[in-house]
Structure 1
């Protein structure tokens, strides 16, 4: 009888401990589920124990972290290898750099303005050294905002274009004048030949008339 009573107490105690463990397990799972985003919750809801849930979250988090790092590395390589095309204006090239910076931010990374400023100054055409030297000499490159450098480079670019326009117009006028002169010369040559031929015929007729 004593043995039976003792066994009964142990069995009851074991059931109570199991119930407590299950309650704690469910409570912990409930707390975890409340902190998860909806898409992640749907992926781990199938697991019954807290350990299984945590393992699943860990694996998914590590995988997502690796993907994020790979994307950031790709963007960094893209920014380093990006080159300005021959006919590309500074503002267009700066827009590409700003787009890469925005993608960095969306992935939780950071691409400092200092990096973009250096990239832009090293990518401008060969006729831009005056403005590049001015910025590097009189400005703090490491603290300058990227937008400010873009504004200065663009202003210099517009100034170069305005200086090139009169020269281009002058060259076009020279070409047009040369073309007109060549056309006029050819016309006079044809008229001269025609008149010379007519003169020869007229002289021949007069000679014949005198012979008669």
Structure 2
């Protein structure tokens, strides 16, 4: 009689709560807890042909309900057995994980293919790039700041060669923030607008190798 009371009390225990990204760990913990209290057989009986005790099945179903958020609970509310409910949660979570992984892959491909086009403003390019990075991180994929910084430098058109070279040579890309890099690029862009070309326009002047080296040293001071 005491054993039955102990089993019935398992419904009131604090079981792990399922979240968007912890299904595998959640399932392992739930299985261990339910197995320890003798109700895991309702989900995965040793003999597939054996009839599960109604009380154990209801207890297991109640435990599953306790460990899932409301949106998933509403999705599986029509399942009548613990086994059916467990399988439904598995399909929902693993299916969502596959969709998420595919979405991350698509966004990463777009990120890698991004190149700032001639005539495109730096603000517009950075806005699109930051949007992709935010979406990727929101989906749970880690994208290091240094990785984004290096991508921005690679994506710049030729007119930014001077400043990107200076940043790569004299800056610590592993510690630099994307805001610092964009700030340096914007400062360089503003200086370019004030440099008239031979025809009176505002394009960048062609420089000798010695002049490039001198300007690289000047640009590097921005990073000190």
TM-score (normalizing by structure 2): 0.62
Identify the residue that residue 179 of structure 1 maps to in structure 2.
none
Q: Which has the higher helix share?
A: 1
Identify the residue that residue 139 of structure 2 maps to in structure 1.
107
Identify the residue that residue 30 of structure 1 maps to in structure 2.
62
Larger Rg: 1
User: Which structure 2 residue ranges, 5 or more long, are not aligned?
Assistant: 1-51, 203-224
Contact 2:117-2:157 within 8 A present in 1 as well? no
Q: CA deviation at 1:162?
A: 2.0
Contact 2:115-2:156 within 8 A present in 1 as well? no
Identify the residue that residue 190 of structure 2 maps to in structure 1.
158
Counterparts of residues 42-53 of structure 1 (less than 5 Å) = 42-53=74-85
Instruction: State how far apart, in whole Å, the 2-side matches of 1:26 and 1:153 are.
Output: 63
Contact 1:25-1:49 within 8 A present in 2 as well? yes
Q: CA deviation at 1:167?
A: 6.9
Say if 1:169 and 1:100 are closer, same or farther in 2 by CA, change over 3 A: closer
Which of 136, 145, 166 is matched with 2:168 structurally? Answer: 136
Contact 1:101-1:110 within 8 A present in 2 as well? no
Instruction: State how far apart, in whole Å, the 2-side matches of 1:86 and 1:169 are.
Output: 16
Structure 1 segments, 4+ long, off by >4 Å, are: none
Counterparts of residues 1-212 of structure 1 (less than 5 Å) = 21-164=53-196, 168=200
Once the two structures are superposed, residues 53-111 of structure 1 have per-residue CA deviations (whole angstroms, 9 ceiling, x without a partner) of 11111111111111000000000100011121211122221111110111012211122
Structure 1 residue matching 2:80: 3-state secondary structure: coil
Moved more, 122-131 or 149-158: 122-131
Instruction: State how far apart, in whole Å, the 2-side matches of 1:28 and 1:122 are.
Output: 55
Aligned alpha-carbon RMSD (Å): 2.3
TM-score (normalizing by structure 1): 0.65
User: Which structure 1 residue ranges, 5 or more long, are not aligned?
Assistant: 1-19, 171-212
Structure 2 residue matching 1:144: 3-state secondary structure: coil
Instruction: State how far apart, in whole Å, the 2-side matches of 1:169 and 1:64 are.
Output: 54
